[in-house]
Chains A and B, each alone.
Chain A
């Protein structure tokens, strides 16, 4: 990469008293990249994240945003430029949803009309009907709705960078998955630079352009989900990736379209999968129906190809 990374950590260290929470970490994150920090509890993920918006001051090394050392930027101005969403949302309980979302635009002294327009735009974007939710208080929201408001608030002033600390960690599995789906879809549209912390490897694999595996304050390995699954650096990364379960995890990252044969040779329409579904699901369907070959059916219900177990085996998925 020749251009300046949006966020650059250069040998960044954080010590709390005698304890070193983050130990000489170096990391470049490009503009528009979805970077996920993953690792066991207490390995320094949150500390790393919170150093980027100066909620925690780093002890050593340098952090740059667009080439500028963050120590040169006033912390409050820096934070207003960076979205921040946390697991417990931290919504203001005495403010309505609309007012919560308008927090940073308010700090930046946007006009009332511009703020209101932006709040409505974000509520629509996150699937919160303004007529229903704008005047509600946080206590009246479900966990998933509150987290959507938290994400909307983080995006309100259209920051280039979004920091998210286990934002979906407290949600039930179904809500969590649908929010992951939506965040991925959203990122496709808004292309922010996202640093996302989680200890849930499935979540990390699903969301990341780049995975950064941390252990005891250090980076153990980084790369695309595929790269890590194909060649985990050591036993720790292997076990974090699910050990012997990682064959299925990797299959879950690959769409059916990549391995399907275009010829459809008069297959029955059942059992079938869609081209944008993943190979893990396809394997499950094969197991269920005890077949080695599936029809691939597009959105209009037409057979557009076939998927063969033997191709999966050859591809080394």
Chain B
């Protein structure tokens, strides 16, 4: 999503961008606890200016762990489902999968969280479940688009040359679908970073904590600190995807 930032960088240069954002993130983590002077003007009346309840690093790691677990599951399920329904034995479920993938985009993540609470209670588990469900859909949708987008003549030729279904999957379908699939995973993870913060409202420990606390206590400094960390984290991961996306030219 920040592709425009580095349009002319070489391959080497593209690998540099996520490193820079990552360094920025680490810098932010070490600087924030000592930056009272910088944030004071946002909350002149407050007793505390820097969010005190948890170490930012702990929140960040927790946030990442939630998104990591959820994205891992979403990738497994999404890519798995996209492959399954495009095999001859799974074709019957292709229309259902397509509809599901299309429908999911109209469903706000907050609603998924709200629905998860009554059945799963509060904390990390319902957050992960909501993140998986929500993150699954762009992965499934792009997975289907990637595989269905392959020229049928190419598949026909592959079969006609005597490639096995496994060879067709690994040498043809996955490499050709990879850019579109990766774009779906990228969307899913980036949205997941933002959505995970909402997990704080149902008791998961995330970078959303300072934001919620800031809103509750009317402390804008907390809000800014949480938002800064979430923003830089999202940019770091997004640039990482930008760097690993294969391109042919």
How long is the Cα–Cα vector from A91 to B162 in the complex, in angstroms?
A: 14
Indicate if the CB atoms of B157 and A89 lie closer than 8 Å.
yes
How long is the Cα–Cα vector from A248 to B164 in the complex, in angstroms?
A: 48
With A76-B163, A77-B162, A78-B162 as given contacts, are A91 and B157 in contact (CB-CB < 8 Å)? yes
Indicate if the CB atoms of A107 and B156 lie closer than 8 Å.
no
Interface presence of A55 (CB below 8 A): yes
Q: Across the interface, which residues of B come within 8 angstroms of A77, CB to CB?
A: 162
How long is the Cα–Cα vector from A150 to B158 in the complex, in angstroms?
A: 12
Of A80-88, A120-128, A200-208, A218-226, which binds chain B?
Answer: A80-88
Q: Please count how many residues in chain B sit with their CB below 8 Å of the partner chain's CB atoms.
A: 19
Interface residues on A, range: 20 to 34
Shortest Cβ distance from A74 into B: residue: B162
Indicate if the CB atoms of B156 and A90 lie closer than 8 Å.
yes
Indicate if the CB atoms of B159 and A79 lie closer than 8 Å.
yes
Interface presence of B151 (CB below 8 A): yes
Interface presence of A137 (CB below 8 A): yes
How long is the Cα–Cα vector from A88 to B157 in the complex, in angstroms?
A: 9
Interface string of B166-207 (1 = CB under 8 A from A): 010001100110000000000000000000000000000000
Q: Across the interface, which residues of A come within 8 angstroms of B248, CB to CB?
A: 94, 137
Q: For A86, give its contact among B153, B171, B172, B176 (CB under 8 Å).
A: B153
Indicate if the CB atoms of B176 and A93 lie closer than 8 Å.
yes
How long is the Cα–Cα vector from A199 to B154 in the complex, in angstroms?
A: 22
How long is the Cα–Cα vector from A90 to B150 in the complex, in angstroms?
A: 10
Contact residues of A: prevailing secondary structure: mixed
Q: Across the interface, which residues of B come within 8 angstroms of A163, CB to CB?
A: 160
Interface presence of A53 (CB below 8 A): yes
How long is the Cα–Cα vector from A84 to B161 in the complex, in angstroms?
A: 7
Q: List CB contacts (< 8 Å) of A69-123 with chain B.
A: 75-80, 84, 86, 88-94, 103-104, 107
How long is the Cα–Cα vector from A312 to B100 in the complex, in angstroms?
A: 72
Interface string of A185-199 (1 = CB under 8 A from B): 000000000000000
Interface presence of A153 (CB below 8 A): yes
How long is the Cα–Cα vector from A90 to B161 in the complex, in angstroms?
A: 11
With A90-B153, A93-B154, A94-B175 as given contacts, are A107 and B160 in contact (CB-CB < 8 Å)? no
How long is the Cα–Cα vector from A86 to B153 in the complex, in angstroms?
A: 8
Shortest Cβ distance from A153 into B: residue: B161
Indicate if the CB atoms of B161 and A88 lie closer than 8 Å.
no
Indicate if the CB atoms of B176 and A84 lie closer than 8 Å.
no
Indicate if the CB atoms of B161 and A104 lie closer than 8 Å.
yes
How long is the Cα–Cα vector from A77 to B151 in the complex, in angstroms?
A: 24
How long is the Cα–Cα vector from A79 to B176 in the complex, in angstroms?
A: 23
Apart from the given pairs A79-B161, A88-B151, A94-B248, 8 other A-B contacts in the complex at a CB distance below 8 Å = A53-B160, A80-B162, A86-B157, A90-B154, A90-B158, A92-B158, A94-B176, A153-B161
List of 3 A-B pairs having minimum Cβ-Cβ separation, nearest first? A90-B157, A79-B162, A80-B162
